[in-house]
Amino acid sequence: MAIEYTHLKGWQIPQATQSYGHKDCILYALGLGFGNEPANPAQLRFLYERGLQAFPSMAVVLATGVSWAADPGTGIDYTRVLHAEQSFELHRPLPTQGEVVGRTSVAEVIDKGAGRGAIVMTQRDLYIDGQATPTATLRSSLFCRADGGFGGPVTESPKPHPVPERAADSRLAIKTLRQAALIYRLSGDVNPLHCDPGVAASAGFREPILHGLCTFGTAIRSALEAAGVDPADVKAGGARFTSPVYPGETLQTEIWRDGALITFRTSILERDKLALNNGWLRLR
């Protein structure tokens, strides 16, 4: 079964609901490696319930719902889907607890042509504690490698955020934990690719890989620390995924600061490969 543009564009994705609290916020922060300096007040604010704050990128793991793209009715070959891009926008600060409703829709389907794949873009709005307007808006792109040439609109994908040509203003390296994927999966993504060696091997990896969104959150943490910016000042951010990361590898993030805009990219030091590119953060 192939993608049918109108059918997929109008796909009804079930609404997702979730209750979360202090423990969920702390667990998310631990998954990003916070706690390597347990006496550091800048880290404890995300790890200790007294004065606890939610790290801004935590919005991406809330009310995610089911893996709707795995439904055969979508026409997507889910075995060959990659998470291509992710962004978030906070319309107000993310609370540390609440009842959250996630409403997701297919924003666009781009046919890159036969043999070139397709891009499926989605938007998820998070409504917390019954508020009439969303607390956060999340946008995500799936690269469906096997699904191009289905006869849909052949358009260019949106241009990624540009990385300045000048030398980076600063950089920061963080070594991920060997158990990072086992911690991060408790924030909601229980795909066995991140914990089962057999599943990882069948997908062509030497061992379970780190969640892309864990790399994303870790890179944002690094970018903010390198820029000396308070995470509470983050309004929005995003990045493009380029290479998978193995738990235990070192992520080095370069940043460029231009007023209220931070640009970043993140490399895997041990393999000299880019993990994330075209990253950006917009400050309040």
Give catalytic residue positions: 189, 194
Please report how many Cα atoms fall inside a 13 Å half-sphere around the Cα of residue 241, on the Cβ side.
22
Place of tokens 């699904």: 147
- Please give the angle made by the CA atoms of 254, 255 and 256, to the nearest 5 degrees: 140
* Count of C-beta atoms within a 10 Å radius of residue 191: 14
Positive or negative CA dihedral for 188, 242, 15, 57? positive
Q: Provide the 10 A C-beta neighbour count for residue 223.
A: 30
Range list of β-strands (E), the chain: 16-20, 81-90, 98-111, 118-128, 136-144, 170-175, 234-241, 250-258, 261-268, 273-283
Largest distance between two CA atoms of the chain: 57
242-273: string of b/e by CB count within 10 Å (b at 16+)?
bbbbbbebebbbbbbbeeeebbbbbbbeeeee
